[in-house]
Amino acid sequence: MHPVLFSIDVPEGLQDWLPQTLTIYSYGFLIAIGAILGISYIAVEGKRKFNMNLDMVNTVFLSLLAAAIVGGKVFMIFENPKLYLSDLSLLLDGRGFVFFGSLSFSIPALLVVLQYYKLPVWPMLDIIAITTGIVHFFGRLGCFMAGCCYGVQWEGPLAVVFTDPLCVAKPLNAELHPTQLYSAGMILLIVVVILVLKKYQKFQGQLFLTYLLLYAIGRSIIEIFRGDEARGFLIDGWFSNSQFFALIFIVVTSYFYWRLLKKANHNS
């Protein structure tokens, strides 16, 4: 919709160190809001449950953030291996991230940090589930503002039209499925579900696994309405890379969910 939130002219005295115009982009601004709220949630819950101090909270969150950025960029290679492997600098063109890549890198990074601080893994992952949902929700709103992750053409009642030339959506001035809002709504619903589930939790890690499972299922469905074909297909037009990664997450997550639930029922 509006990739640029606003621009301001930099005073002449600062133009030797800063550009003449400072531009604030909607995507980055919304990600920043999500990050602030996410780290706040970790701080509150971590302090309450595990007496985490500020240094521990910052290390956990920054490790997650760094791993998410690297993983999200690395998985972009799968979208077009020939293109990106010929020029890795294209990964830094500002096109965004692949969520399943961010998640795949973040989990191992988190495990290392938790081991270092001797924090319990599954209870912390439950906290991270809600944190991820918060950041991810605002990230999808940022996608909508930037026009990335756009949908196929559709003349339905919820269709949106991107007109700003800076939008990534294609084609401009055409009615498209608002897949970014579908994703944002789905993520918000998942967060609500796991917050309710938190009151009836049967085993540690249930919130985290529920988030992964519901997101993977929902994402595989939303992919049907996605129009940004640059994300790549394993079966052209039928089975995307994201649906393949979602299938892997569904299988792996279901196994761990079944195993932990069986153990919890056995011990009860």
What integer pLDDT is reported at residue 241 of this predicted model? 81
What integer pLDDT is reported at residue 124 of this predicted model? 92
Q: How far apart are CA 62 and CA 68, in angstroms?
A: 10
Is there a contact between 261 and 109 (Cβ–Cβ < 8 Å)? no
Residues 6+ apart with CB under 8 A from 237: none
> What's the one-letter identity of residue 28?
G
Q: How far apart are CA 198 and CA 193, in angstroms?
A: 9
Write out the chain's pLDDT in tens, 268 residues: 788 887 777 676 666 666 677 788 888 899 899 989 999 999 999 999 999 998 999 899 889 888 888 887 777 777 667 766 776 666 565 556 677 778 888 889 999 999 999 999 999 999 999 999 999 999 899 989 988 889 999 998 999 999 988 888 888 999 999 999 999 999 999 999 999 999 999 999 999 999 999 999 999 999 999 887 666 666 676 788 888 889 999 999 999 999 999 998 887 6
Q: How far apart are CA 5 and CA 96, in angstroms?
A: 17
What integer pLDDT is reported at residue 14 of this predicted model? 64
What integer pLDDT is reported at residue 245 of this predicted model? 86
